[in-house]
Amino acid sequence: MFRGKKYKESLKLVDRTMLYSPAEALELVQKTAKAKFDETVEAHIRLGVDSRHADQQVRGAVVLPHGTGKTVRVLVFAKGEKAREAEEAGADFVGAEELVSKIQNENWFDYDVVVATPDMMGVVGRLGKLLGPKGLMPNPKAGTVTMDVAKAVKDIKAGKIEYRLDKTNIIHCPIGKVSFGTEKLLENFQTLLDAIIKAKPAAAKGQYLKSVVVASTMGPGIKINPARVNEQR
């Protein structure tokens, strides 16, 4: 893979043989972020589970104390009073069957999170093949299928993120922007890790946190020692 000059310069700052503490790694992420825009910082967490088994799935949602630094557009499927509550809470788009048609006919995806009241899931279910592959399908575990749509919208706008395993048993999540600084990034990182550790399936055996890596959008990955993830509180 071709790597640019800035990436190669950043890579020189990282000791690839070292496992850093969370604070050290996040300080290094900021030093290696060379792009002209405010890069997103992501955590990539490999777990000692097998996502092919239903009893070893790890999925949920958590509100990051300092948000992600990104403006999140929320679409809510609701009717009547619940639709009004969603609008008042700041949802960007609110509707019912007409939104299903818009998504199906216009290939419309100008939103980042989809929330639905339970009674609307029969309607939303028609969009499974479109929303599912994009990770947009509402899910009770993520708190996006709920009667309390106002709280769901406010939490998402405040920095609530969903975490879930990919096919290689890795969770990929944004934990903020480079401009946040070490302290805020560290608090967001610890909040995410705490949630993932609490979500450990009973069926998981052996080492749960296999590897933890943080990186900025254009920067190199920096390895964190899994045994030190609870440091620097």
Quick one: pLDDT at residue 216? 93
Instruction: Give pLDDT, residue 141.
Output: 84
Q: Which pLDDT score is estimated for 6?
A: 67
pLDDT number for residue 94: 97
CB 123 within 8 A of CB 102: no
- As averages over each run of 10 residues, the pLDDT of the chain (233 residues) reads 63 79 93 90 95 90 92 95 96 96 94 96 94 92 93 93 92 95 96 95 91 92 87 52
Alpha carbon distance 86, 154 (integer Å): 9
Angle at 112 between CA 169 and CA 150, to 5 degrees: 110
- The answer to whether 161 and 61 are in contact (CB under 8 A) is yes
Question: How far is it, in rounded angstroms, from Cα 37 to Cα 108?
Answer: 27
- What domains can you pick out in the chain, each with its CATH number? 5-67+160-228 (3.30.190.20), 74-157 (3.40.50.790)
Q: Model pTM greater than 0.75?
A: yes
Could you tell me where the DSSP H helices lie in the chain?
A: 5-11, 22-32, 80-88, 97-106, 121-124, 128-131, 149-158, 182-198
CA 112/CA 124 separation, integer angstroms = 16
Q: State residue 156's pLDDT score.
A: 93
